[in-house]
Structure 1
Amino acid sequence: MKPAWDQLMEAYTGHATAVVADVDCTADGKSLCDMVGVRGYPSIKWGSPDDLQDYKGGRTFDALKKFADESLKPMCGPANLDLCDDAKKAKITVLMQTSDAELDAMLSSIESAISLVEQTFKDGVAVLDARYKELSANKGPDFDAEVDKLLCCS
């Protein structure tokens, strides 16, 4: 993929509204990668720097170029309110007028809700894992032999 990405960076060098770049997440770029949620390599993120999304398309130059040509353009956001529909413009306007303290409180509330959902999921998996182990232990030593008889050679 690296040659295709390098070719795409070359094609977008000096572009008026789009930047195509790479970041080494194992070196100086690690903090940036952590901040935008890079979990594996190679990862491609796209969109507004304030709201990067995972790219899930092809990894050839042609696929990357087609996606870039169609998608890398100014998007709705605080810097481009004129590109937003009325509903998004209203939401952004409200958020821009919200104090830092209120935004911090909102973020804290969202993070708490996410933590609760994640803990509920982990607890559910633990219950399922315990039940699986119980069922596996109770199937009996002759279970595999009985299954073999039923499936192939009875």
Structure 2
Amino acid sequence: MKLSATILALAAATASAAVPSLTPDNYDAMTDGKTVFIKFFAPWCGHCKKMAPDWEKLSGEWDGHEIGLIAEVDCTADGKPLCDANGVRGFPTLKYGDPTSLDDYQGGRDYDALAKFATDNLKPICSPSNLDICDDDKKKQIEELMAKSIEDLDAAIEEEEKKLTAAEDDFKAEVEKLQKKYQELMEEKDAKLAAVKDSGLGLMKSVKAAKAKAGSDEL
């Protein structure tokens, strides 16, 4: 029994280690030319632990694939700068797509959902290194961007990222307003219910029940 437990533990450790772990030092090299599906996690996270076996299985199936890469980033260790750069606020966070411009994954977290998504999406995507699969509009857009200086691109990226931040801030502000309104409505409702009870509703019901019982006794 002890031997079997040891073997299982070693197998689990091997499976976990098989998932490519990304850090700022290896990110560019490991993701170059790839379409990626990345799990940003924390070792203490319960949901992360729950999905770990499915993620390990999926990563193993895509191991060595020419285009697709299933990887993970430990946000509590060397990978933390990648988590910060990608706006990771909760665990696990899944992102996919172009390694330089990841999109949020919003699908299911079970193996079947993850595997189907990977099959459907981990394909070559239009980019400066894959111009042959771009349509004419995208090719033109890439050519125009390639003509810009690094400084101009930095400025344009910063401007667009400000819009993303503004959208997040607006969303949070509106949610706070809704939460405040909800609290106000709850307090208003409770006050109305208390007023109705204080007006004698309970006593009316009690008297009605007593009269009904008295009438029944008379019969």
TM-score in terms of structure 2 length:
0.55
Name the CA distance, whole Å, in 2 between partners of 1:44 and 1:116.
Answer: 22
Which of 140, 145, 150 is equivalent to 2:194? 145
Q: Deviations over 1:6-43 (max 9, x none)?
A: 00011111111111111111111110111122221111
Name the CA distance, whole Å, in 2 between partners of 1:119 and 1:67.
Answer: 30
Unaligned regions of 5+ residues in structure 2, if any?
A: 1-50, 205-219
Unaligned regions of 5+ residues in structure 1, if any?
A: none
Q: Does 1:83 align with 2:133?
A: yes
SS of the residue aligned with 2:73? Answer: coil
Which of 104, 109, 112 is equivalent to 1:62? 112
Aligned length: 148
How far the C-alpha of 1:111 sits from its partner, in A, is 4.6
Q: Does 1:39 align with 2:83?
A: no
How far the C-alpha of 1:93 sits from its partner, in A, is 1.2
Which of 75, 78, 85 is equivalent to 1:28? 78
Which amino acid in 1 is paired with 2:195? E
2:7 paired residue number:
none
1:10–1:34 Cα change, 3 Å: same
Q: Deviations over 1:67-96 (max 9, x none)?
A: 111110110111111111111111111111
Q: Which has the larger radius of gyration?
A: 2
1:118–1:42 Cα change, 3 Å: closer
Q: What pairs with 1:88-107 in structure 2 (closer than 5 Å)?
A: 88-107=138-157
TM-score in terms of structure 1 length:
0.75
Name the CA distance, whole Å, in 2 between partners of 1:42 and 1:122.
Answer: 21
1:2–1:85 Cα change, 3 Å: same
1:98–1:66 Cα change, 3 Å: same
**Matched-pair identity in %:** 45
Which amino acid in 2 is paired with 1:28? D
